[in-house]
Amino acid sequence: VSTSAHVNIASITKAGNVGIGTTPNSDSQLHVKSGANDNNPILRLEGATNNFLNFRQTGSVYDIHVTANDPLSFSIGASERMRIDSSGRVGIGTTSPSQLLELKGSNSQLIINGTTTTDCGIEFQNNATSFAEIKLNTSSGILDISETQTSGVISFSTGVSGTERMR
């Protein structure tokens, strides 16, 4: 396919590989190349209701962009496995996450698997200030729960009202 000025804008190889904006790679059935790095979509999928999914590049950043207020979901077969909703909440095993990250399932475990001999764990911050951490010292095998501010208080509570049971 070419424009009236005989510039190739798309081509199809004998093997059926398609190139838009480029000659298709031999290992790709569809190869789309943007001529500019201008934040315009490289590929846009749009439904009848004008909702869309864009794939674009700006500088060295690749972006998947959906219509405002639409979620982005990932499915295997007919089952949705993960969703990012319009407010940025991520749900794994749920289609309506109520927190920034929600894991839901019959065996919901968050695994933190350190790959070096250094400590691994979870650090709790507010505006980049560390407040507490739970970490495993991999050399000693000690699980450390620590408060990192000056108050030095760690309390354990139960029940809906959060009745303190131990400090």
The residue among 115, 80, 77 whose CA lies nearest residue 97 is 80
Query: How many whole angstroms separate alpha carbon 143 and alpha carbon 136?
Result: 4
What pLDDT is attached to residue 161? Answer: 80
For the chain, percent of residues with pLDDT exceeding 70: 92
Q: What backbone phi and psi angles, to 5 degrees, belong to 39?
A: 75, 0
* Interstrand relation of 129-137 and 120-126 (parallel, antiparallel or unpaired): antiparallel
Show the tokens assigned to 22: 């480029």
pLDDT tens-digit series, residues 66-121: 888 889 999 999 999 999 999 999 999 999 999 999 999 888 888 888 777 677 88
Which of these ranges, 7-11, 19-23, 42-46, 140-144, has the smallest mean pLDDT?
7-11
> What's 50's DSSP letter?
S
Q: What is the pLDDT of residue 63?
A: 87
* Contact predicate 31/18, CB 8 Å: yes
C-alpha to C-alpha distance for 10 and 33, rounded to whole angstroms:
10
**pLDDT value at position 3?**
56
Q: What would the pLDDT profile of 147-167 be if each residue is shown by its tens digit?
A: 888 777 788 888 878 788 887
Tokens representing residue 98 in the block: 């109520």
Query: What distance separates the 2 farthest-apart alpha carbons in the chain?
Result: 80
pTM: 0.68
